[in-house]
Chain A
Amino acid sequence: MKQMNLLQAVNQALTLAMERDASVLCFGEDVGHFGGVFRATSGLQDKYGEDRCFNTPLTEQGIVGFANGLAAKGLKPVAEIQFADYIFPAFDQLVNETAKFRYRSGNQFNVGGLVVRTPYGGGIAGGHYHSQSPEAYFVHTPGLRVVVPRGPVQAKGLLLAAIACPDPVIFFEPKRLYRAAVAEVDEGYYQLPLDRAEVVREGSDITLLAWGAQMDYLLKAADLADNAGISCEVIDLQSLLPWDEDTVVESVLKTGRLLISHEAPLTGGFGAEIAATVQERCFLYLESPIARVCGLDTPFPLALEKRYMPDQHRIFDAINATMNF
């Protein structure tokens, strides 16, 4: 066990993956010698050579198209998109190609082994184009897996599982927590399951659900609620596609209430999908409407970032409203 932050955990996962399997490659903008703008890939080029860890030209669609070809050839590319805000030039390659390789070829070709890592989310004074949470665009695409870790332990185990996974994975890394989240991490190789939500805290009055960086606020809100005598069950979804319906449903059947929180805008956000499924499967057990505490339907702001964020206070307010419906 060793204390490390989320970034170090990612770096260690990549190191272990490249160590174990010569077909794992890491590349992207500034990823080679420099180690990526957040240094997630630092040291990898020194250890594994320029053929396996390298800079690419500045072309997101090129990076993902190239990764598709590599993965179809049987290698395991771990491509970095510098910021999730810049994943959109690669949208077509991800949605039309990565996601559909296996299906359209009748499983003659697939790009399992492909992982796209990308830092996402706000809270770092990044303004418009360094803060977005674009997961909802991708969870609408059958064939992709979408994974979001909340801390160093999860980041390492989920990333190693993503690299070993026979399906392509988009791995959103909460950059606000890169250095802020520190934990004791097992230094050995381990994987965490990609199809399980984790019940982080048990409770009986209301289920709180989020993923990635939002878990931090959710847990703080649960503490506030606890002080107010409300017992919260807190769930980290971890994998957004496919997502673990059963764990969520089971919890809501127990608590009778659900609050979902995400940083991305409310409308068409993934919270809407979860709410729809839960009301289908838990209708008669619900004691109040499913609450959503999300980003506003605006672009991500800079100066008013704090007000935009669905933080513990907004979540706590919503918990109270739900309890007193």
Chain B
Amino acid sequence: MTNPNNATITLVHRIRFVDGHGLTIPTFRLLKDDGHLYADAIAPELDKEQALAMYHSMVATRLLDERMLAAQRQGRISFYLQSLGEEAQAVASAAALAPEDMILAQYREQGALLHRGFTLAQFMSQLFSNEDDLGKGRQMPVHYGCRELNFMTISSPLATQIPQATGVAYGQRLAGESAITLCYFGEGAASEGDFHAGLNMAAVLKTPVIFFCRNNGYAISTPASEQFVGDGIASRAVGYGIRTLRVDGADTLAVFEATRQARQLMLDDPQPMLIEAMSYRLGAHSSSDDPSGYRSQAEEERWRKRDPIGRYRLWLQHQGWLNEDDDRRHRDELRRQILEAMKQAEQRAKPALESLVEDVYAAVPRHLERQLAGLKHPSSGRQGEDA
């Protein structure tokens, strides 16, 4: 029996509270730590080229992160945020999408953008806020965005992208596009009101959006245990009536297959889905953070052994698709390219002063023209005097 507000009613005559942990959602996993499939697991349909492309994106993401974290320590950029241990989640999920699918990201998904074809030069231009930065040097490092690659520019306030993704997906459905939206966020961001607003609206309005939660155990220093109780983020989506899957975020094949199938399902029948990827943020939160203050070396070590790149590399080797020499040569070449791109970007000029007042509105309004003139000729008296 259902009542007008969609709740199923079953009558009982003895009290039985539903436990907050009543729902336990299993974790989808295909690859064992040794790089072999579980006995009853079915590998996704992936050819060698696709499989290696994912691997290369994951490796490139890690090498880029390493280099730029070092660059931050050397004072060459102001801030950086690495995705160590989470490369598989971003890359494999993005690899399961079509290029016309829209991505709205948080800030730890550089792997997705890289896999879509954002060039090293483009990364560097953003990180060094030079005149080639697509965002014109207005945001902190790592707030990437690229219209051409259908990757919405990242915003700092957490979770704001979640209801926005619902809106983008509604637009896709209305236009009859065979495209979907994928929205990344962390388990910390899932405490924000925007998460609940966005999921509920998506469920009610039946929009084809994949909410992809990277549950990496920490929001800066706050462990997941102090972020929420209950069965993770996945159970929340179930409460909103959203199809949900929990997946091992360090299992490249499982993340790929989960995202691929979610996408397929929602193309056939528009509706949102939530994928909760379980992983561990192996590095510091950002270049401004030192995790030794809030977690143990031993804990980190345990997770280091479960490095997603290592597990996937073993599988590729078992397939006979990867050999160590090629791998090493490829990494050396990548390192060289990253260094080269960094040097180039560092030498480029900053954006022009005029760009300060551009893009606030479609056209520069008169009061901003005045204020720019005042900046150029400060002696002219009042702020914003006509030049």
Contacts and interface: CB of A to CB of B under 8 A. Distances in A.
B166 A110 contact: no
A65 B207 CA distance: 14
Interface size class of B (residues with CB under 8 A): 35 or more
A103 B360 contact: yes
Contacts of B163: 61-62, 64-66, 68-69, 93
Interface string A89-130: 100110011001111111111101000000000000000000
Contacts of B44: none
B135 A65 contact: no
Contacts of B146: 108
Contacts, number: 159
Contacts of A89: 193
A52 B171 CA distance: 10
Interface centre among B134, B155, B167, B196, by most A CB within 10 Å? B167
Contacts of B165: 69
Contact of B171 (A59, A70, A106): A70
A65 B204 contact: no
Contacts of B145: 104-106, 108-109
A57 B204 contact: yes
Considering residues A69, A142, A281, which has the most beta carbons from chain B within 10 angstroms of its beta carbon?
A: A69
Contact of A110 (B170, B200, B362, B382): B362
Contact of B160 (A56, A77, A93): A93
A95 to B, nearest CB: 9
Contacts of B135: 104-106, 108
Interface stretch (B136-144, B230-238, B250-258): B136-144
B355 to A, nearest CB: 8
Given A62-B201, A68-B164, A143-B360, A97 B155 contact: yes
Chain A interface residue bracket vs B: 35 or more
Contacts of B166: 62, 65-66, 69
A89 B163 CA distance: 13
A71 to B, nearest CB: 8
Contacts of A195: 365
Nearest to A102: B359
B208 interface: no
Contact of A69 (B134, B170, B365): B170
A104 B143 contact: yes
A102 to B, nearest CB: 5
Nearest to B154: A104
A100 B145 CA distance: 14
Interface in A133-162: 142-143, 145
Given A69-B167, A73-B172, A167-B362, A106 B160 contact: no
Interface string B357-371: 011111101110000
B152 interface: yes
B198 interface: yes
A251 B141 CA distance: 47
Query: Which 9 pairs show the lowest CB-CB distances between chains A and B?
Result: A69-B167, A65-B163, A62-B197, A105-B153, A166-B362, A69-B164, A73-B171, A106-B136, A66-B167
6 contacts: A62-B197, A66-B198, A69-B164, A92-B157, A97-B157, A102-B361
Interface of B: 102, 104, 133-136, 138-139, 143, 145-147, 152-153, 155-157, 160, 162-172, 174, 193-194, 196-198, 200-201, 204-205, 358-363, 365-367, 382
Given A62-B163, A65-B164, A245-B366, 8 more contacts: A65-B197, A68-B164, A69-B166, A69-B170, A72-B167, A106-B134, A106-B135, A145-B361
Interface of A: 25, 51-52, 54, 56-57, 59, 61-75, 77, 89, 92-93, 96-97, 100-110, 112, 142-143, 145, 165-167, 195, 242-243, 245-246, 280-281
